Structure 1
Amino acid sequence: MNRNRLSPDMQTGLNKQMTQEALAAQIYLSYAAWASGEGYNGIANFLFRHANEERNHMMKFLEYILERGGKVTIEAIPQPPGNPGSVQKCFEQVFQQEVDNTTAIYKLVKQSFDEGDWATWHFMQWFVKEQTEEETLALNLLDKIKVAGGEKATDEALYNLNRDLETEPDEASLAETKSADNP
């Protein structure tokens, strides 16, 4: 008896996304190690926490594939890009990585819709919201870097940013939670 409730294409796509989430974790881990080596321990702490979050996303995909009777395929994770070289470039690359991840998530959402795979479509809605949050968080960080001076940020501005990111919440406040009373 075939227990797999995923189409072959959906199973492939979900496995690919699982690997993409693992790569995202490696990118955050790599940038965290770079930041720590540069003395930005607050930034490193923030990035280490996000590496763990991406690993959790990877596990969500793995568990979902198994729950739907599919076959999990563990593939090699590509090497993350080299060290960013600056705090500004670090968060620009983080933002781009999140945009790329959002694009991949949207592709799976569309595929699940087109296939009428409503269980997968429903599962993917959590990731749609999560990616909105991740992109918002990355944009907020880029705004902070810009205010600090961007590539020309002073040591004092980077010190303050580093200190703030050590305790920065891991979630961004989204527009859907806003109202006239709570802007």
Structure 2
Amino acid sequence: MLNERIEKALNEQINAEMWSAYLYLSMAAYCHKTGQPGMAKWFEVQFKEEQDHAKILFNYIVQRNGVVSLKPIDAVPTEWKSTLDVFESTLAHEQKVTSLINNLFALTTQENDYATQSMLKWFVDEQVEEEENAQNIIDNLKMIKDNGYGIYMLDKELGARTYTEAAPLAISTL
């Protein structure tokens, strides 16, 4: 059974993950609008991944006989200055999510909740990957600058990304 503080924090993280999904869908819309369908697809995959993250937390709360409490999702930005700005915003957002996950992990340490720590380990590892991916795209965009062919090639590369269900959902019974 989850203690009250951890249950509340996990529910807040579900909301944060759904806000992240909504943010990435907004970023996909921006990329479509600016003629970058590959980058838009990359963000659409991010959208699905964030929904997976929320569902992992949802399933965990249910498995621990907790109560899932869904709250309204705040509005997200819809405009950026450039493609580079969109990905810099992505990195900043992922860094914020990393701090949220770290704070959750710290709470489980304070509460001696080893089962939740174990579940959160996947999220800790996932955040390292998320930040690295965003930084790599930023580095590529900075190198490319305004080279149309380079942007075209990066758009094609990012458009090849495919969605893969998060591993914890593949083994879930819920």
Say whether the fold is shared (TM-score over 0.5).
yes
Query: Aligned AA for 1:30?
Result: S
Q: What is the match of residue 4 of structure 2?
A: 8
**Is 1:89 aligned with 2:82?**
no
Q: Distance in 2 between matches of 1:46 and 1:82?
A: 17
**Is 1:146 aligned with 2:139?**
no
**Is 1:136 aligned with 2:129?**
no
Map residues 20-39 of structure 1 onto 2, 5 A cutoff. Answer: 20-39=16-35
Q: What is the match of residue 47 of structure 1?
A: 43
Q: Distance in 2 between matches of 1:59 and 1:31?
A: 21
Aligned residue for 1:75, secondary structure, equals coil
TM-superposed deviation, 1:96: 0.7
Query: What's the Cα RMSD here?
Result: 1.4
TM superposition score normalised by structure 2: 0.90
Q: What is the match of residue 110 of structure 1?
A: 106
Q: Among residues 147, 154, 162, which one is paired with 1:161 in the alignment?
A: 154
Q: Structure 2: 5+ residue runs without aligned partners? A: 165-174
Q: What is the match of residue 127 of structure 1?
A: 123
The number of residues matched between the two structures is 164
Query: Aligned AA for 2:39?
Result: I
Query: Aligned AA for 1:112?
Result: T
Q: Which has the higher contact order (CA 8 A, sep 6+)?
A: 2
Query: Aligned AA for 1:16?
Result: E
Q: What is the match of residue 60 of structure 1?
A: 56
Which stretches of structure 1, 4 residues or more, deviate above 2 A after TM superposition?
A: 154-157, 168-171
Query: Aligned AA for 1:101?
Result: V
* Larger Cα-atom Rg: 1
Q: Distance in 2 between matches of 1:27 and 1:100?
A: 13
Work out the percentage of aligned pairs sharing the same amino acid: 30
Q: Distance in 2 between matches of 1:119 and 1:67?
A: 11
Q: Structure 1: 5+ residue runs without aligned partners? A: 172-183
